[in-house]
Each structure stands twice: as C-alpha cells, then as structure tokens.
Amino acid sequence: MKLLHKYIAVALLLAFTGCTEKIDLDLDSIPPAIVIEGRISNGTVLNYVRISESSPYLSDADNQPVLGATITLTEDGTTTETLIEDPQFPGYYYCPLLWAGKLNSVYTLTVNYSGETYVAFDTIRPVTALDSLGYDYEDKPGTDNDGYYVSLYAQEPAGFGNYYQWSYFSNGAEKAGLEWNASDEFVDGNYINFQFEFDDQQELGDTVAVEMSSISLQYFKFVNQLLNQESSGNLFDTPPANVLGNFTNGAFGYFHADGVAADTIILR
C-alpha cells in the first residue's frame, strides 16, 4: 500500500501547525510515525503485516522497515497465532504456513514494538462466489486500446451493505488492486458482468487471475479517502489531513480481514 506512505509526513506536519502565525519549523525533527498495513483472509496466501516508520518530511527516502516487532493475531478472543518475521523482506511479517482465516470470525491484531502497543480488529465477511472469468477481443476506434478484455461474472447477493475490492493479476504481476473498490448501491441483488479495462490490454497466452474481496464499510471509506487525496493537488483543494485508520495509539494504517473468492483464466 505505497499510496498510504505518501501522506504520513504531510499529516504529521499539519498536526503540528494549526494557526496562521508565521513560524519556523524544524521539519526533520518531527518524530517518525508508525505505519502498519495488515491483511488477512479466508485464503492461505497474502496473510501478512507490514510495519514501517515514516521518513522526515524533507527526505526523499522511503519509509524505513520496522524490525523486531512482536505481532499476534487472535481469533474470536481465544486462539492466538504469532506472526513470523521475513528475513528476506524487512518489515514484513506473515501468518504461519497454510494458515487461513474463518468466515464470520473476529480477528484482533496486536503489534508490540519499542515499548508501545498498537491494536486493531476486523471481521472476515462472506463473499459471493465467482461464476467465471471470460474474455473478448474488442476494437477501440480512435485509440490504441484494441485487445483482449477480461470480464468477471458473479451474482451479487440481495441486501444493501456489501462492499468489494478487486485485485487483478496479469502473468503474476498485479495491475490493479487498491483503486478498484465498489459498494452494492447500484447493483444490489443483480448479476454482475464487470469488464476490467486498462491502457495496455491482454494478449493470447496471458494468464489472468482475479480476486474479489468482501471488505468492511470502514475499510471502504479509508481507501476512498486515500484515493481522494492522491487525486487532489489543485490550488483550491482542501489541504491533506490525517487519514484515520483503525489502529490504537496513534499508528497510521489499517488492518483489514477479507472474505476472498478467486479465479484464473488463460487466454487461448
């Protein structure tokens, strides 16, 4: 979630300024903030936590990975797993091999680092199954976007209040994820035929994998706030501010638990 890291320094700066009096700030002296990104699901992959510290405001350096944290994941207040630090990818911590979450269970993530404790929780919500993936070749007159387009087919369950995120992988590389979010406000109870469109389209022989995740309303709002800040930049835009996550003790970031349905197709 590189998008999240862009706003940490700006948010910290605003937290230290709240008046119109001209003052000189030592921006590099603002203490770093803890940034925690965690995601688990009912699948056996991508159950991870990433922890970093924000870089100084005037620095071009990336956030620095946090090493040596102790991270536990508790299921429904009873069963607890300890996440394993990855020695090859600093700052990443993973659930035990083949671990998978359970639908409708509540998960509490606890991070202990440098004498501080940060806690967040979420529930894995059921997700509708994917009927299939399909593809068609389409001509796009007046553009360079002729090519094969992949579509997703699924039945959206009746009852408002479902929120989704789609991740799209082309030949193993993710092409879209965080920015593909939607609610069921306009498709409640309908059969979904959703076509993924990109500037560079697929070719015969490509392998495409799609994940559809059921996410919470709170995480849906959190992601949209990040995306709105990324798209701002006009002189008359509201200045960036803290994008509040769900961790205690002032940590930035979000821990989300997703119900996931996935499918793969090879374009032949």
pLDDT value at position 178?
78
Under the banding of pLDDT at 50, 70 and 90, the label for residue 140 is: confident
* Domain boundary assignment for the chain: 2-125+235-258, 130-213
Residue 255 pLDDT more than 80? yes
pLDDT value at position 264?
97
pTM, whole model, 2 decimals?
A: 0.83
How far apart CA 210 and CA 198 sit, in angstroms, is: 14
pLDDT value at position 76?
98
Is 66:53 a contact under the CB 8 Å cutoff?
yes
pLDDT tens, residue by residue, 36-82: 999 999 999 889 999 999 876 556 678 899 999 999 999 999 999 99
Please tell me the number of Cα atoms within 13 Å of 99 on its side-chain side.
20
Is 188:158 a contact under the CB 8 Å cutoff?
yes
DSSP state of 224: H
pLDDT tens, residue by residue, 117-138: 999 999 999 999 999 999 999 9
Question: Percentages helix, strand, coil for the chain, rounded to the nearest 5?
Answer: 10, 40, 50
Per CATH, which fold does 2-125+235-258 belong to? Immunoglobulin-like (2.60.40)
Both structure tokens of 192: 């979904």
Q: Which residues pair with 258 in a beta bridge?
A: 41
How far apart CA 143 and CA 158 sit, in angstroms, is: 38
Residue 25 pLDDT more than 70? no
Is 267:137 a contact under the CB 8 Å cutoff?
no
Concatenate the DSSP letters of all residues of 199-217 into one string: SS-B-TT-EEEEEEEEE-H
pLDDT tens, residue by residue, 142-198: 777 889 999 999 999 999 999 999 999 999 999 988 788 999 999 999 999 999 988
